[in-house]
């Protein structure tokens, strides 16, 4: 007996371990989230730096183009040799307009004197240019000691109502008078140059002077006058703020990166708000938190399980250790290794995960180490036992891969780990190399491929892989002229095994069958499982001659039959199973895999129909029969819904010739084929389960006819016999449906006689007796149809609540021809008399047959001799005529002849 304190210590130990693991998960999750945040900030910082560098270069180029235009006005207009009054404004305007149109940023250009009068303009509106310039701008340009490009504060253009900047440069005329070259540039044009189509979440771009005066921004501000931003960019740089710097436009915490341009102490600044930079990280953080929660829940559940099984504490501790190892491995796989190289491809930085992936390089790692030297050391580990030349070739190929930065490649280590390597260039010409362990992913892909193309139970190819191999085999057969074969196998009575011994035993049988099939064929052949108990064997290129290929396929099929007929040991059971095999040849022409499978399947079902445990080759006539059967099933569906069925009634007579009843027989009034007898379609209806609704229609129609006859004294005595199929009788609600039909139609139950076959009643005697007994309480009568054709019916005859036996027409047809049939008929009549059952003979076609039956004691008759099946209206005419005719003299019933001996007389 355990001491009371022992479980408490165990619980304390378990919960301490759980708490430790959960704490580890939380700590690692926090670390991962923090690392992801830093990576997100670093990525945004790199984006901002790249953007500002590109914007600076683009703006410098664009402003240089405008500067060249302004500086070139002196030569373009010939100003050095002209006085102010000598300039031809019209001709000079044409030349200036042509030059201005070549610069896409310039709206128009003009030449002004020191007082602001327009000397030359590329546009007629240039005459009003002086009134648009910001105050003091013209004087500032004219008073420059050295001519440089100057940029005005933004103003609103009166002509276009948009914000513009004026770029100006001082020029000298022939008399050394000061002239100012002016170009009007829309702010939006400069903004487009700055943005360059870059899309960075939350990006704020400003062009401002060193003192903070804002010239333009993106997104654009609505201020009509130039704003002054505070603090200035130089003050921000002095404070060394990173992500706490105020954004230049919105003032929210952000990263601000700026660079000066070539002209007039201007700076380009890019601000990325902290919230926008961390937008993607928020989702990563939530994912990490959810993952950590899942792992924490798993650990807690593991602790609960451990507490429930205290007696297996050591095993629980082992499970916890395994779980911890799995958790550690999973957490480590979330972090990729990385390495940064400078422009000379020397090592700048690396992380701990890189050392975990390449532990043999840990002692070698150092800043400034050439990457080639690192690869040479790695080659020793990657190519153990290789010579120096082979290793040098490996290093050379690895360095060539660095030229394709957009492609990732993989490296399989000697340990079997697969490392995905991705290399991306840095702005300074270096490289960032990431190493990601994708071993688990590759293994998962392999498992997915296995599940997609192989059967998980038998590990055989499934239908998809088989179809692919069949298409390749057919194509190869067409090229080579070699025939192959396809064998379609189905295990006989497999469902019975599953139902009686369970699916586990059935699965064991399927696995053994798969092993035996593989042992019967060559390595290049294919054994596949389509599902359930269906297998396919594809024999590849067995002969160039069709007959020889068929013979080879037959030999393989016979070998499979012999092997699969051997007993199976399934646990404690010894089971005997047999297959049905359909065979078709493939080759000689291009064939679809689905057609080949259909042919083999048809041949297999031919074996099923012939008794199973055999082999059959495909015959095109089978396909014709199958197609005809499918069309017949579709026509039967249409007939049922389109009211194409009708009932004919074959009268039944007593010995005196009076009609005492009729058998309801279905006929099909086909719109194209005319009247069709049941022998042409009942078999298909039975197999397709259409017999159930058809049988219900027959029962309802016959009962409606009984109800219609009940009101006429001439017909109200007529009984109607209805044939009931086995599938219909075995329905659970059969009794309820018969009773419901009698209630709905108003037919008298004692006039309804249901005819059952021997095979039906013997299939499940107890169920048959119960259903017949329930209907007998309602007044329904029963007749045993085709009596005498079975084998065991006599043993159960006394248990069945029958009213009548029906002698099969096969015995009636041979009366007086085959002595044994006379013996059987007399035996049936004598037995029915002893059991107080009526006897009716069907198929009576001659007077001799009727007289012989009467001599043996039969009182009721049905057959073509007395009346053929006919519509209800014609049967009513017969009954009407019989009612008007004088009553016949009473028939003389002969004494039943004694039963003859079993052997004919000598």
CA geometry: angle 26, 28, 31, nearest 5 deg: 110
* Residue 864: predicted pLDDT: 93
Q: Is 560 a member of any domain? A: yes
Final residue of a domain: which of 618, 653, 684? 618
**Band of the pLDDT at 332, cuts 50, 70, 90?**
very low
Residue 62 lies in a domain: yes
- Evaluate whether residue 798 is within a structural domain: yes
- Is residue 521 within 8 Å of 556, Cβ to Cβ? yes
Domain boundary among 400, 427, 445: 445
Domain that holds residue 72: 50-277
- SS3 per-residue string spanning 313-337: HHHHHHHHHHHHHHHHHHHHHCCCE
Q: Is the pLDDT of residue 121 over 50?
A: yes
Neighbours of 538 (CB within 10 A): 23
Q: How confident is the model at residue 893 (pLDDT cuts 50, 70, 90)?
A: very low
| Residue 115 reports pLDDT greater than 80 | yes
Whose CA is closest to 593, among 490, 465, 483, 479? 465
- 320 and 348 share a domain? no
Q: Please classify residue 104 by burial: count the beta carbons closer than 10 Å to its beta carbon, then call 0-12 exposed, 13-18 middle and 19+ buried.
A: exposed
The sign one gets for the Cα dihedral 883, 885, 889, 892 is negative
Helix (H) or strand (E) holding 269: strand 266-273
Of 229-243, 499-513, 615-629, which range is least confident? Answer: 615-629
Work out how many domains the chain is built from and give that number: 5
CATH number of the domain bearing residue 273 = 3.30.450.20
At residue 82, the 3 state secondary structure works out as coil
895 DSSP 8-state letter:
P
Confidence check: pLDDT of 640 > 70: yes
What distance in Å separates the CA atoms of residue 876 and residue 867, rounded to the nearest whole number? 13
Using CB atoms within 10 Å of the CB of residue 257, give its burial: 0 to 12 exposed, 13 to 18 middle, 19+ buried: buried
- Determine whether 643 is exposed, middle or buried from the number of CB atoms within 10 Å of its CB (0-12, 13-18, 19+): exposed
Average pLDDT over residues 380-406: 77
Convert the pLDDT of each residue in 854-879 to its tens digit: 999 999 999 999 999 999 999 989 88
Pair (462, 539) in one structural domain: yes
Q: 80 with 99, same domain?
A: yes
* pLDDT value at residue 16: 85
- Amino acid 225: pLDDT: 53
pLDDT at 419 over 80: no
**Number of Cβ within a 10 Å radius of residue 472:** 12
In terms of Cβ atoms closer than 10 Å to its own Cβ (0-12, 13-18, 19+), residue 158 is exposed
Determine the Cα–Cα distance for residues 791 and 804; give it in Å rounded to an integer.
Answer: 19
Contact call for residues 781 and 803 (beta carbons, < 8 A): yes
Domain presence at residue 439: yes
- The per-residue b/e assignment along 562-587, b for 16 or more CB within 10 angstroms, e otherwise, is eebeeebebeeeebebebbbbbbbbb
SS (H, E, C) 195-258: HCCCCCCCCEEEEEECCCEEEEEECCCCCCCCCECCCCHHHHHHHCCCCCEECCCCCCEEEEEE
Three-state secondary structure along 362-374? Answer: CCCCCCCCEHHHH
Domain CATH for 755: 3.20.20.450
Question: What mean pLDDT do residues 695-699 have?
Answer: 95
For 365, residues 6+ apart whose C-beta sits below 8 A from its C-beta are 347, 350, 355, 374
- Whether 640 maps to a domain, the answer reads no
Taking a C-beta distance cutoff of 8 angstroms, is the pair 437, 333 a contact? yes
State how far the Cα of 529 lies from the Cα of 458, in Å rounded to an integer. Answer: 8
Helix axes 371-382, 388-401, angle to 10 degrees: 130
Is residue 501 within a helix (H) or strand (E), and if so which, with residue range?
helix 494-501
156 and 217 share a domain? yes
Task: Tell me the backbone φ, ψ of residue 129, rounded to 5 degrees.
Answer: -60, -35
Task: Please write the tens of the pLDDT for every residue from 764-795.
Answer: 788 889 999 999 999 999 998 877 665 545 66
Report the chain's terminal Cα–Cα distance, integer Å: 95
* Residue 196 pLDDT exceeds 60: yes
Burial 770-782 (b: 16+ CB within 10 A, else e): ebbeebeeeebbb
pLDDT band with cut points at 50, 70 and 90 for residue 649: very high
One domain for residues 494 and 602 = yes
| Over residues 248-271, mean pLDDT | 86
pLDDT at 625 over 70: no
Give, as one character, the DSSP assignment of residue 658: -
* pLDDT above 70 coverage of the chain, percent: 89
pLDDT classification of 334: cutoffs 50, 70, 90: very low
The three-point CA angle 848-851-852 to 5° equals 85
Give the per-residue pLDDT at 906: 28
- On whether residue 568 sits in a domain, the answer given is yes
Q: Does residue 294 share a domain with residue 259?
A: no
Tell me the HSE value of 598 on the side-chain side, using a 13 A CA sphere.
11
Same domain, 428 and 552: no
Same domain for 471 and 425? no
Dist. CA 661–CA 860, nearest whole Å = 10
Q: Are 697 and 640 in contact (CB under 8 A)?
A: yes
Q: What is the DSSP string of 555-616?
A: HHHHHHHHHHTS-EEETTEEE---EEEEEEEE-SS---HHHHHHHHHHHHHHHHHTTSSEEE
pLDDT tens digits, residue range 799-835? 889 999 999 898 999 888 888 889 989 988 998 898 8
pLDDT at 326: 58
Say if residue 746's pLDDT is above 70: yes
For residues 273 and 296, membership in a common domain is answered with no
SS (HEC) of 339-350: EEECCCCEEEEE
- The torsion angles phi and psi of 114, rounded to 5 degrees, stand at -65, -25
Residues 206, 153: one domain? Answer: yes
Residue 542 CB-density burial (10 A; 0-12 exposed, 13-18 middle, 19+ buried) = buried
Nearest to 439 by CA among 422, 419, 423, 421: 419
Can you give the pLDDT at residue 327?
40
Report which DSSP code applies to 721.
E
Backbone angles phi, psi at 407, to 5 degrees: -105, 140
Percent of the chain with pLDDT over 90: 22
Residue where a domain stops, chosen among 259, 277, 295 = 277
Mean pLDDT of all residues in 681-685: 83
* Residue 3 reports pLDDT greater than 60: no
Question: Does the residue 348 lie in any domain?
Answer: yes
Note the pLDDT of residue 133.
84
Average pLDDT along the chain: 83
123 in the same domain as 246: yes
Claim to verify: residue 404 and residue 473 sit in the same structural domain:
no
Residues 441-467 have pLDDT tens digits of 776 776 666 566 788 888 899 888 888
**pLDDT reported for residue 143:** 86
Question: What does the pLDDT average to over 354-380?
Answer: 81
18: in domain? yes
- Secondary-structure percent of the chain, ordered helix, strand, coil, rounded to 5: 50, 20, 30
Which residue, among 232, 260, 265, has the nearest Cα to 246 in the 3D structure? 232
**How high is the pLDDT of residue 295?**
87
pTM: 0.42
3-state DSSP assignment of residue 180: strand
Indicate the SS3 state at residue 673. coil
């Amino acid at each position: 007996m355990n001491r009371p304190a022992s479980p408490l210590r165990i619980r304390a130990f378990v919960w301490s371990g759980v708490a430790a693991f959960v704490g580890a998960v939380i700590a690692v999750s926090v670390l991962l989230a923090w690392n992801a945040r830093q990576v997100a900030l670093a990525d945004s910082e790199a984006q901002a730096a790249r953007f500002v560098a590109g914007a600076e270069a683009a703006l410098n180029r664009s402003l240089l183009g405008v500067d060249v235009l302004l500086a070139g006005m002196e030569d373009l207009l010939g100003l050095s040799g002209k006085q102010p009054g000598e300039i031809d404004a019209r001709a000079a305007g044409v030349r200036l307009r042509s030059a201005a149109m070549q610069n896409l940023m310039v709206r128009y250009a003009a030449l002004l004197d020191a007082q602001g009068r327009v000397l030359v303009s590329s546009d007629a509106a240039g005459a009003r240019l002086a009134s648009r310039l910001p105050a003091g701008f013209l004087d500032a340009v004219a008073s420059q000691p050295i001519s440089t490009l100057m940029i005005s504060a933004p103003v609103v253009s009166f002509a276009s109502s948009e914000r513009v900047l004026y770029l100006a440069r001082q020029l000298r005329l022939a008399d050394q008078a000061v002239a100012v070259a002016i170009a009007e540039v829309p702010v939006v044009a400069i903004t487009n140059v700055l943005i360059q189509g870059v899309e960075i979440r939350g990006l704020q771009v400003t062009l401002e002077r060193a003192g903070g005066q804002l010239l333009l921004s993106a997104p654009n501000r609505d201020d009509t006058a130039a704003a002054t931003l505070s603090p200035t960019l130089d003050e921000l740089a002095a404070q060394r703020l990173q992500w706490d710097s105020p954004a230049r436009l919105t003032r929210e915490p952000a990263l601000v990166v700026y660079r000066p341009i070539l002209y007039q102490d201007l700076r380009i600044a890019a601000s990325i708000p902290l919230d926008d930079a961390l937008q993607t990280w928020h989702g990563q953080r939530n994912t990490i938190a959810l993952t950590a929660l899942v792992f924490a829940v798993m650990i807690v559940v593991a602790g609960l399980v451990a507490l429930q099984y205290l007696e297996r504490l050591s095993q629980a501790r082992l499970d916890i250790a395994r779980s911890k190892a799995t958790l550690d491995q999973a957490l480590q796989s979330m972090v990729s290794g990385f390495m940064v190289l400078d422009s000379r491809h020397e090592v700048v930085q690396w992380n701990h995960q890189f050392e975990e992936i390449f532990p043999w390089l840990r002692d070698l790692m150092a800043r400034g180490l050439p990457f080639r030297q690192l690869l040479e050391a790695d080659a020793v580990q990657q190519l153990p036992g290789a010579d120096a030349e082979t290793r040098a070739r490996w290093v050379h190929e690895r360095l060539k891969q660095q030229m394709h930065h957009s492609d990732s490649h993989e490296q399989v280590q000697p340990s079997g780990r697969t490392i995905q390597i991705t290399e991306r260039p840095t702005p300074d010409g270096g490289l960032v190399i990431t190493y990601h362990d994708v071993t688990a992913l590759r293994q998962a892909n392999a498992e997915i491929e296995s599940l997609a193309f192989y059967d998980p139970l038998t590990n055989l190819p499934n239908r998809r892989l088989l179809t692919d191999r069949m298409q390749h085999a057919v194509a190869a057969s067409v090229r080579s002229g070699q025939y192959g074969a396809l064998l379609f196998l189905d295990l006989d009575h497999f469902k019975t095994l599953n139902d009686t011994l369970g699916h586990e035993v059935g699965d064991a049988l399927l696995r053994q069958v798969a092993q035996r099939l593989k042992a019967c064929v060559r390595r290049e052949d294919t054994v596949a499982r389509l599902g359930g108990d269906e297998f396919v064997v594809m024999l590849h290129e067995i002969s160039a001659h069709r007959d020889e290929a068929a013979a080879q396929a037959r030999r393989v099929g016979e070998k499979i039959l012999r092997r699969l007929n051997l007993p199976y040991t399934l646990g404690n059971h010894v089971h005997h199973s047999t297959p049905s095999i359909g065979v078709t040849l493939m080759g000689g022409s291009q064939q679809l895999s689905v057609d080949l499978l259909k042919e083999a399947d048809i041949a297999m079902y031919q074996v099923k129909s012939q008794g199973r445990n055999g082999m059959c080759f495909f015959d095109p006539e089978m396909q014709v029969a199958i197609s005809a059967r499918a069309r017949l099933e579709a026509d039967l569906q249409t007939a049922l819904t389109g009211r194409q069925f009708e009932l004919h009634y074959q009268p039944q007579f007593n010995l005196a010739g009076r009609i005492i009843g009729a058998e309801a027989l279905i006929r099909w009034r086909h719109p194209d084929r005319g009247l069709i007898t049941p022998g042409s379609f009942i078999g298909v209806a039975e197999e397709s389960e259409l017999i159930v609704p058809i049988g219900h229609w027959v029962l309802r129609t016959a009962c409606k006819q009984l109800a219609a006859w009940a009101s006429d004294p001439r017909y109200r005595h007529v009984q109607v016999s209805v044939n009931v199929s086995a599938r219909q009788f075995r329905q659970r609600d059969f009794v309820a449906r018969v009773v419901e039909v009698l209630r709905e139609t108003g037919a008298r139950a004692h006039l309804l006689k249901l005819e059952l076959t021997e095979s039906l009643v013997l299939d499940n005697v107890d169920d048959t007796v119960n259903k017949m007994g329930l209907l007998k309480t309602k007044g329904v009568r029963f007749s045993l149809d085709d009596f005498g054709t079975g084998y065991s019916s006599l043993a159960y005859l006394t248990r069945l609540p029958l009213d009548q036996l029906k002698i099969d027409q096969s015995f009636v047809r041979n009366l007086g021809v085959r002595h044994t049939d006379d013996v059987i008929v007399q035996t049936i009549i004598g037995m029915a008399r002893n059991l107080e059952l009526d006897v009716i003979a069907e198929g009576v076609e001659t007077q001799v047959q009727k007289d012989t039956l009467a001599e043996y004691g039969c009182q009721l008759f049905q057959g073509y001799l007395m009346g053929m099946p006919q519509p209800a209206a014609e049967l009513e005419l017969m009954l009407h005529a019989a009612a008007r005719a004088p009553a016949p003299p009473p028939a003389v019933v002969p004494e039943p002849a004694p039963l003859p001996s079993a052997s004919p007389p000598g």
